[in-house]
Amino acid sequence: MGRKNSSEINIEKIEQEKQGLRIKNIRENELKMNKTQLAKEIGISSQFLGLVEEGKGNLVYSSLKRLRNISGHSADYILFGLDDNSINKTKELLNNYSELEITETIDFLKHLIILMRNI
């Protein structure tokens, strides 16, 4: 793998800072916890949680999974800011259909996309 250029590094830094702000927002405004409380719940030190919230550190998988379980947010939201509501609405809609119906519909959509590209 090659080295990252400065623009890639800057983008990653900005994304990490946004992730930290989302985690801080979840902790303060939704969970109403201080750093020590949340850190204990997700298995890290409060000092490290502070670094994560400042965009200077990343959670390991197990801590992210615990935060996801405690907060009710998806990992996609915590890491990337993707809308939980869309994911939850999709899950609710899909619960009305069998796995076979979903698979057949996805296959149909794939074929439809291929046809549309060839028009």
59: left (phi over 0), alpha (psi -120 to 50) or beta: beta
pTM strictly above 0.85: no
Would you kindly state where each structural domain of the chain is located, as residue ranges?
1-82, 83-119
Q: What residues have CB less than 8 Å from 17, skipping those under 6 apart? A: 54, 55
> Is pLDDT above 80 for 25?
yes
Q: Say which CATH topology domain 1-82 has.
A: 434 Repressor (Amino-terminal Domain) (1.10.260)
Q: What is the mean pLDDT of residues 23-48?
A: 98
What was the pLDDT predicted at 2?
65
What was the pLDDT predicted at 85?
78
